[in-house]
Amino acid sequence: RPLRIIARMRGLRILIGTLLSAVKPVAQTCAIAGGVFLVGGILGMQFLMGKMDACSDGEVQDQGDCVGLDGDGEVRSWDPYYVNFDNTYRSMISMFLIATQDDWVSHMWAGIDATAARKGPVQNASPGLSLFYIGMIFASGMVVINIFVGV
């Protein structure tokens, strides 16, 4: 029945044809975006893999010391920042969030504060990483999103 409706209504037939003809350009654009996110994610993994973790107790800077209870009686835990570059999947999700510019400044500061693996964050530990975040905003946020708009 739905195919009969499409065959009889000329406007709907044109609409369906237009949607089907847009599938290939959208798929190509998704492939380009995925490639940009992958390259940016791998670059982010080189800079930040394993470094964006912190203890739930802000006073503790070392993973080995993040045991027991904090001053409020809460159990300490060593957790990664939710936008991190610890593996390829998480790095591509992080690149997508950076591309959408969803609270990207907080993510940039978390990356800048990252120090070393199994060490807590220190304010402004790596200010040079701001160039990585700004470059990825430009490459993924501006270019890829504008390609999508153009398709």
pLDDT value at residue 133: 95
- pLDDT per residue of the chain (151 residues) written in tens, 0 to 9: 677 777 788 888 888 889 999 999 999 999 999 999 999 999 999 999 999 999 999 889 999 999 999 888 899 999 999 999 999 999 999 999 998 888 999 999 999 999 999 999 999 999 999 999 999 999 888 888 788 888 7
DSSP state for residue 74 in the 8-state scheme:
P
pLDDT value at residue 1: 65
pLDDT value at residue 151: 77
pLDDT value at residue 147: 85
pLDDT value at residue 3: 74
User: Treating both helix axes as pointing N-terminal to C-terminal, what angle do 129-136 and 104-113 enclose, rounded to 10 degrees?
Assistant: 150
Number of other residues whose CB lies within 10 A of the CB of residue 108 = 19
C-alpha span between 54 and 89 (Å, rounded): 20
User: From start to end of the chain, where are the E strands?
Assistant: 53-55, 78-80
DSSP 3-state of 53: strand
Are 45 and 85 contacting, i.e. CB atoms less than 8 angstroms apart?
yes
Question: Is the sign of the CA dihedral 57, 61, 67, 70 positive or negative?
Answer: negative
pTM for the whole structure? 0.83
